[in-house]
């Protein structure tokens, strides 16, 4: 059985990060080991959230695993609690990673042109260092702009998207998967492979609703699917369709935006698509 370690926070309420990564990766038939980077009462879109940073646990956990000879097929990181924590995650990966292991980074830190409340302008530069070491990164356009010091544009075209994606690849990431790519009236995912210099796009019908945590749902499904043996293109398609289904069934639920989508009800669809 394949095993991923996913490194991100636990938001106790507000479905995102580890509370979605665990069930979704499990549904793809892959083991999800975890490192919780922080425990928050809710994700940071709620007011007055509490946060206990678990920074001091990261390297001791890594050391124990190394001593025990525990290995992983992939390292998958999401929301990290501080710039200092990013350095520790880089050390952990360098320490435990074997040549054939995948490093997948979702630089979960910003959306709609803005950083999440816990982060300052320096944070994206640290995150860019982690992304530079990754096999695959999963930014949205806001995160891509922050990490490349490109002024954010709410409206952009395909040329702009490709420019930003290629800047990220030039910083070191082998493959860039731009999520929520919206240009020329289309909406979906844009993949750039810096080794083949080829693009792959998967567009979908844009659903007129926004929910918190859908980026984490896409990234978790994508990572599980890829590690389970699907191609990168197939993993993008199934993860994007799964995320869209989650949004579709939650669309009319009042006040769901912050609480997250009903991804649980669509797990049978995900398993069906895996075949």
Q: Which residues bind ligand PXL (CB under 6 A)?
A: 9, 11, 16-17, 40, 43-45, 79, 108, 116, 213, 215-216
Rg (CA), the chain: 17
Query: From CA 62, how far away is CA 44, in angstroms rounded?
Result: 27
Kindly state the smallest distance separating residue 149's Cβ from ligand PXL, in Å.
22
Nearer to ligand PXL, 110 or 165 (CB): 110
Nearer to ligand PXL, 16 or 169 (CB): 16
The Cα-based distances of 262 to 217, 244, 252 in angstroms read: 11, 11, 11
Query: From CA 40, how far away is CA 78, in angstroms rounded?
Result: 14
213 and 260 Cβ atoms separated by less than 8 Å: yes
Kindly state the smallest distance separating residue 15's Cβ from ligand PXL, in Å.
9
DSSP 42-62: E-TTSTT--EEE-HHHHHHHH
Kindly state the smallest distance separating residue 43's Cβ from ligand PXL, in Å.
4
Nearer to ligand PXL, 50 or 71 (CB): 50
Nearer to ligand PXL, 145 or 169 (CB): 145
Kindly state the smallest distance separating residue 223's Cβ from ligand PXL, in Å.
15
148 and 167 Cβ atoms separated by less than 8 Å: yes
Kindly state the smallest distance separating residue 51's Cβ from ligand PXL, in Å.
8
Nearer to ligand PXL, 45 or 101 (CB): 45
């Amino acid at each position: 059985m394949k095993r991923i370690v996913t490194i991100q926070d636990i938001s106790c309420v507000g479905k995102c990060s580890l509370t979605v990564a665990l069930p979704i990766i499990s549904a793809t038939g892959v083991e999800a080991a975890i490192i919780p980077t922080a425990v928050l009462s809710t994700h940071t879109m709620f007011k007055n959230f509490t946060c206990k940073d678990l920074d001091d646990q990261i390297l001791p956990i890594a050391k124990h695993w190394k001593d025990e000879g525990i290995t992983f097929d992939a390292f998958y990181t999401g929301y990290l609690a501080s710039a200092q924590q990013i350095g520790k995650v880089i050390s952990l990966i360098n320490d435990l990673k074997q040549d054939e292991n995948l490093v997948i980074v979702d630089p979960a830190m910003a959306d709609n042109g803005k950083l999440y409340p816990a982060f300052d302008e320096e944070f994206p530069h640290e995150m860019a260092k982690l992304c530079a070491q990754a096999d695959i990164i999963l930014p949205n356009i806001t995160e891509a702009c922050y990490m490349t010091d490109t002024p954010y544009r709410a409206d952009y075209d395909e040329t702009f998207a490709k420019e930003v994606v290629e800047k990220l690849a030039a910083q070191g990431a082998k493959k860039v998967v731009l999520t929520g790519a919206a240009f020329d009236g289309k909406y979906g995912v844009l993949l750039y492979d810096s080794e083949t210099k080829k693009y792959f796009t998967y567009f979908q019908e844009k659903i007129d609703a926004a929910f918190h945590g859908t980026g984490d749902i896409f990234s978790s499904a994508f990572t599980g699917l890829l590690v389970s043996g699907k191609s990168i293109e197939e993993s993008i398609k199934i993860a994007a369709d799964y995320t869209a289904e989650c949004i579709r069934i939650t669309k009319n639920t009042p006040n769901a935006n912050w609480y997250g989508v009903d991804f649980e009800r669509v797990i049978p669809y995900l398993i069906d698509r895996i075949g």
